[in-house]
Amino acid sequence: MSEAVEPIRVGVLGARGRMGTEACRAVDGSDDMDLVAMVDEGDWLSNVSGADVVVDFTTPDVVMDNIRWCIDQNIRMVIGTSGFTTERLEEVRGWLAHKPGLGIVVAPNFAIGAVLMMEFAARAARYFESVEIVEMHHPKKIDAPSGTALRTAQLIAEARAAAGLGPVPDATKDEMAGARGTDVEGIRVHALRATGLVAHQEVLFGTTGETLTIRHDSYDRASFMPGVLLAVRSVIKRPGLTVGLGALLG
């Protein structure tokens, strides 16, 4: 006789937001998960204390407090909220060092196509002297550049450094503020906002006589949900900090 497996108890932070609403629906529709708490601004964070895993889709200004609290309560987390600079990731890694066995997944983008776009960009980076990132989102997005663009820039910067590439060539001397985007670890990132968009990104590489453009489009937030569920299932048996969904895809 096989033993019955207990469902994973999941709490969602930012539950009334665009992503939180979708995540609650996806968790609720999963046979192996129970949605045990839906928390939004103004609700008690302690409502998630019975959860095995907390999913966070809030805002960059509150996510670090949420992480600190969940780590203190020994609750695993799956974090989709943006704003994770290298410094923030290091801070979370430091907190987790005191809790061996506890796992957190920070995924800048849960869409499979976006994960591949980042991987392909990291792979291409060493072959092109020039690279710029253009991220395009709906106008209700409060942060810029996007978490996906930040992560892509980090990965490209790492790959360039490993290949011994110098700075991206750019003769600009006379610049109106913002015209050349923002500098993320030496990579120029441009953020566009327009009604009708959901989440889109292009990475443009250039070298002598050719360019390569890698583009990903999410047209619907449903594109993120298989990745969210995969991360919830994975974090149960994955201690430490995992950055990006790539490591969970096999």
Ligand X SMILES: O=C(O)C1=N[C@H](C(=O)O)C[C@H](O)C1
Peptide bond into 239 cis (omega under 30): no
Q: Is 199 among the residues that bind ligand X (CB under 6 A)?
A: yes
- Going by C-alpha positions, the residue among 116, 140, 139, 138 that lies closest to residue 203 is 116
107 is in an annotated binding site: yes
Residues 6+ apart with CB under 8 A from 209: none
CB-nearest residue to ligand NDP: 17
**Is 190 part of any known ligand binding site?**
no
Write down the least CB distance from residue 62 to ligand NDP, Å: 4
Alpha helices in the chain (DSSP H): 18-28, 60-72, 86-96, 112-124, 147-162, 225-235, 246-249
Set 137, 190, 200, 216: catalytic member: 137
Q: Which of 98, 99, 140, 141 is catalytic?
A: 141
Contacts with ligand X by CB under 6 A: the residue count is: 9
Residue with tokens 């490591």: 247
Which structure tokens are listed for 92?
């979370």
20 binds ligand X per the rule CB under 6 A? no
Q: Which pair of structure tokens corresponds to residue 43?
A: 């609700």
Which option in ligand NDP, ligand X, none does residue 137 bind, with CB closer than 5 to 8 A by kind?
A: ligand X
β-bridge partners, 68: none
- The annotation status of 15 as a binding-site residue, yes or no, is yes
Indicate if 98 belongs to the active site: no
In angstroms, the Cα distances linking 69 to 17, 104, 132 are 21, 13, 37
The answer to whether 71 and 48 have CB atoms below 8 angstroms apart is: no
* Positions that interact with ligand NDP (CB under 6 A): 13-14, 16-20, 39-41, 57-60, 62, 80-82, 107-110, 147, 224
Residue 81 interface partner, choices ligand X, ligand NDP, none, CB cut-off 5-8 Å depending on type = ligand NDP
Compose the 138-167 pattern: x for residues touching ligand X by CB under 6 A, - for all others.
---x----xxx-------------------
Residues at the site binding ligand X, with contacts judged by CB under 6 A: 82, 108-109, 137, 141, 146-148, 199
Catalytic residues: 137, 141
